[in-house]
Chains A and B, each alone.
Chain A
Amino acid sequence: MSGPLLSVEGLSAGYLGEDVVHDVDLSVEAGEVVGIIGSNGAGKTTMLRAMCGLLPATAGTVRFDGVDVLRLKGHQVMRSGMVYVPAERHLFPEMSVSENLALGSYPKRPDSAQLDLIYRTFPRLKERTRQHAGTLSGGEQQMLAVGRALMAKPSLLILDEPTTGLAPLLAKEAYSALGELRGEGLTVIVAEQQVPLALGLADRGYVVDHGRVTLSGTSADLAADPQVRTAYLGV
């Protein structure tokens, strides 16, 4: 093993010919949990989507597991082991929980050990295997979105605002479930505007503002940083 699992250099991307994200450098080692923190509209989603090939990048390189990701299409990146879970979840509303999970392992057949792991982590899903995804509560939908991504046995899981639409208590629960998954040795990138939650989970973090990385460091360093404290922690 040499070099990080994911390395992003000079990444720029945007919409309609105008860059929203500028010159982003970022790296993730295998086994790490990395937070990307910033307020709503800071460019976190654009950055993640460009990293995953779901949005064309205008400059830069992204190497994942030795592969130049920007040459691949979005679905090919997902198959390469780097799986993105968007804030909007994009579940299949008129399919059951178990069908949604089964599609996560496409094109392979669902792996029963992986399915067990997901049902252990999210027992609520196991109670609702035959229920349509569209009828689940917001929290359950988030569990299903993460579960579906895990079915692909990703080596890097990228979560975009996993607490979107969740009540504060559910948001905390979601993060404790992510903590459990981390114990399984998963590598995770999590973008979050609820900064205390993200810093509580992550080893390291990057602060994004106006489409640029303005600060990076260990979670403890970031939590102690006066700028971060006033801007995001409300201290």
Chain B
Amino acid sequence: MGAVLVDGFVLGLQFGILGVGLTLVYGLGGVVNLAHGQMAVMAAIVTARLIDRGVSTAIAIVIGIAAAGLLGIIIDRTIMQPVYRDQTDHRVLLGLLLMLGVGFVIDGVLEWRYPIEALNLRVGGDPVSLFGLKIRRGSIWASAIIGLIGVALVLFFRFTTFGRATRSVIQDEEGARLCGINPAMVRTVIFGLSGALAGSVAMIQAMTSPVVSTAGVGLTIFALIVAVVGGLGSVSGAFLAGILLGIVNTLSAFYIGTFVSSIILVAAAAITILLRPQGLLSRA
């Protein structure tokens, strides 16, 4: 039970970071990024290929994360522009469909070129005993790194000028413009950050289990559920929802079965929309 809880918590932290990336992009531009998981996997495969070619692991990881960030920026500056210009109700649907298409493209390329590629950054060594539990070293590293990312994000959004500006665009885009903030620039930077966060999650996941080239769709669905439960546009909500759902997912997968755990996650999202449509926490 204890070890399962730890696994659930570590998975939940990863869900949380995925959800934060999705929720930020939605909050800023109304785009539901249905390629979020695919961007993460693309980063993993870039890193895996570079390691295969003899590039040092650290550099390969940085390049993989940067590639996902760059992809986010390119998507924002190109095919998302008509979405941002559209002021009608169709906007969300258009963004959703375009990102679904991007997801198909990434999945297609990965399946075509690298069907059996996987990123494995497994951390060696014996499990560490902590509070009477045997915890894998990879899990400890993963938790520590995500903890750092989480703290950095909180500090960024609370205390930096750009972080505040980002929250202001989420809460009232016109108000932000009146303060001299350029919402388009904020969207571009944050889409890039969101991609980089997705890439980081892939690297972290590879520390405990290999990330395969077909994992994208699953990650996207997890990110979407987490963002919905946490409240679309809420960073701390996404974090909290990620941890809760990670534990729920792992416990139900362990005690009942994997497919049941997926159903439970979707049910959690549906019930949240019915009972608390604003999500666990309010925006930004």
Residue positions of A touching B, CB distance < 8 A: 54, 73-76, 78-79, 83-86, 89-95, 99, 102-104, 106-107, 109, 148-149, 152
Q: Are A109 and B182 in contact (CB under 8 A)?
A: no
CA–CA, A73 to B172, complex, Å? 17
Q: Are A91 and B175 in contact (CB under 8 A)?
A: yes
Q: How far is the CB of A12 from chain B (nearest CB, A)?
A: 22
User: Which of B174, B178, B283 touches A94 (beta carbons < 8 Å)?
Assistant: B283
At the interface, yes or no: B24 with Cβ under 8 Å from chain A?
no
At the interface, yes or no: B54 with Cβ under 8 Å from chain A?
no
At the interface, yes or no: B177 with Cβ under 8 Å from chain A?
yes
CA–CA, A78 to B177, complex, Å? 8
Known: A78-B180, A89-B175, A106-B164. 17 other contacts (CB 8 A): A74-B178, A75-B179, A76-B180, A78-B178, A83-B178, A86-B174, A90-B172, A92-B172, A95-B167, A95-B284, A103-B164, A104-B179, A106-B161, A107-B161, A107-B165, A109-B161, A152-B179
Q: Are A90 and B175 in contact (CB under 8 A)?
A: yes
Residues of A within 8 A of B165 (CB): 103, 106-107
Q: How far is the CB of B244 from chain A (nearest CB, A)?
A: 22
Interface residues of B, dominant DSSP:
helix
| Interface core residue of B164, B174, B178, B283 (most chain A CB under 10 Å) | B178
Q: A94-B282, A99-B164, A102-B164 are in contact. Are A107 and B180 (CB under 8 A)?
A: yes
Q: A103-B165, A109-B161 are in contact. Are A152 and B171 (CB under 8 A)?
A: no
Residues of B within 8 A of A91 (CB): 172, 175
Give the total of B residues in contact with A, Cβ under 8 Å. 20
Q: A92-B168, A92-B172, A103-B164 are in contact. Are A148 and B284 (CB under 8 A)?
A: no
Q: Are A103 and B171 in contact (CB under 8 A)?
A: no
CA–CA, A132 to B159, complex, Å? 16
Residues of A within 8 A of B168 (CB): 92, 95, 103
Residues of B within 8 A of A107 (CB): 161, 165, 180
User: Which of A76, A79, A92, A152 touches B175 (beta carbons < 8 Å)?
Assistant: A92
Q: Are A73 and B182 in contact (CB under 8 A)?
A: yes
Q: Are A75 and B167 in contact (CB under 8 A)?
A: no
Residues of B within 8 A of A152 (CB): 179-180
Residues of A within 8 A of B264 (CB): none
23 pairs from A and B in contact (CB 8 Å cutoff): A76-B182, A78-B178, A78-B179, A78-B180, A79-B180, A85-B178, A89-B175, A90-B178, A91-B172, A91-B175, A92-B167, A92-B168, A92-B171, A92-B175, A94-B284, A102-B164, A106-B165, A106-B179, A106-B180, A107-B165, A107-B180, A148-B178, A152-B179
Interface string of B153-177 (1 = CB under 8 A from A): 0000000010011011001101111
Residues of A within 8 A of B268 (CB): none
Residues of B within 8 A of A89 (CB): 175
Residues of B within 8 A of A95 (CB): 164, 167-168, 171, 284
Q: How far is the CB of A81 from chain B (nearest CB, A)?
A: 10
Q: How far is the CB of B149 from chain A (nearest CB, A)?
A: 23
CA–CA, A90 to B172, complex, Å? 6
| Interface core residue of B175, B176, B177, B179 (most chain A CB under 10 Å) | B179
CA–CA, A162 to B243, complex, Å? 45
Residues of A within 8 A of B182 (CB): 73, 75-76
At the interface, yes or no: B181 with Cβ under 8 Å from chain A?
yes
Q: How far is the CB of B24 from chain A (nearest CB, A)?
A: 15
Q: With CB as the reference atom, state the residue of chain A lying closest to B169.
A: A92
CA–CA, A155 to B283, complex, Å? 33
